[in-house]
Homo-oligomer: A and B are copies of this chain.
Amino acid sequence: MPASYAYLGPEGTFTEVALRTLPEAATRELIPYVSVQSALDAVRAGEAEAAFVPIENSVEGGITTTLDELVAGEPLMIYREVLLSITFALLVRPGTKLADIKTVSAHPAAQPQVRNWLRAHLPDAVWESAASNADAARLVQEGRYDAAFAGEFAAARYGLEALETGIHDAENAQTRFVLVGRPARPAAPTGADKTSVVLWQRDDHPGALRDLLGEFASRGINLMLLQSRPTGAGIGNYCFCIDAEGHIADRRMAEALMGLRRICLQVRFLGSYPRADIAPGEARPMLPGTSDEEFMAAADWVARCQDGRF
């Protein structure tokens, strides 16, 4: 197994900064890839041990490129997640003033985050999409555009200066990243875990989705993300990417997944991994009747009834 992590490059993006917060990243070679697809393909092909990619952000929701790659193709598994607060700096060539800026560039995902700021401060600037925020910074360095929205950390790398920092339209703007590898036994529960699955409905009838969600609800499992993604079979045909609180080693989660496996056309397990938003011990209390002990006691009681020993 090569001791390297692929990540969505280029260098100097929020993805690299987020990846470097993982302790295990310090002992791996970190290799930038040009797209989420190519980073995940490197894992599937055995060229990298794992890939680190954005999967959700608080302004745009689920990152569909990443979700679609996890939904299709050879199965992969999520091992870790990282949350990073996102604020932008306006990077310019040294000496540029706000009044000089006619063109601004960034990755399209940055646009909704800086839209109001642009309207207020640079209403006439022309927006030019770039392949990444770091790429936008490079294009500013080369003189193609006047300013780039990127992380402040990108300024030094491209010989630019930050004319403004802390730019964000939404308070608490965060991006969630995941470390994705080939399937293996998930790490043991920490007490504050998350399980990701993809569900395909067997058929479409009133209550079909309600029934799927009931498999979680009836076992006291809270959902953290439900993102529909087209199956490609035409308008109205969706599968569902779901994040749920808990770990597949928990009895309640294992039973919910068994229920889904019975009633769904297909279920893809994407992993159980520690939550980045809370520490172990901070998880909300379980609903009464949904602990491992209660599941085991109930199974024991049914077995005794089946035996006539009640």
The interface of chain A, by Cβ under 8 A from chain B, is 56-62, 64, 68, 83, 108, 112, 129, 170-172, 174, 176, 204-211, 213-214, 216-230, 232-238, 277, 287
Q: Does A58 lie within 8 Å of B206, measured CB to CB?
A: no
Tell me, in angstroms, the Cα distance from A236 to B211 when the chains sit together: 22
Partner of A232, one of B58, B211, B234: B58
Contact B60 A230 (CB under 8 A): yes
Q: From residue A169, how far is it (CB to closest CB) to chain B in Å?
A: 9
A8–B309 Cα distance when bound, in Å, is: 71
Task: Check A206–B226 contact: CB distance below 8 A.
Answer: no
For A83, what are the chain B residues with a Cβ–Cβ distance below 8 Å? Answer: 235
The answer to whether B230 touches A227 (Cβ under 8 A) is no
Chief secondary structure at chain A's binding surface = mixed
Residues of B within 8 A of A61 (CB): 64, 228-230, 238
6 A-B pairs with least C-beta separation: A207-B217, A210-B213, A172-B234, A210-B217, A206-B222, A170-B232
Bound CA span A217–B217, Å = 15
Do A236 and B226 touch (CB < 8 A)?
Answer: no
Contact indicator A57/B220 (Cβ below 8 Å): no
Beta-carbon contact of B216 and A210 below 8 Å = yes
Other-chain contact of A238, B226, B233, B234, B277 (Cβ < 8 Å): B226
Residues of B within 8 A of A236 (CB): 224-225, 277
Report B-chain residues with C-beta under 8 Å of the C-beta of A112.
68
Q: Which residue of B is nearest A276, CB measured?
A: B235
> What is the bound-complex CA distance between A61 and B236, given in angstroms?
9
CB of A230 within 8 A of CB of B287, answer no
A170 to chain B, nearest CB (A): 5
Q: In the assembled complex, how far is the CB of residue A127 from the closest CB belonging to chain B, in whole angstroms?
A: 9
A61-B64, A129-B108, A228-B226 given as contacts; is B206 within 8 A of A221 (CB)?
A: yes
A108: shortest Cβ distance to chain B, in Å? 6
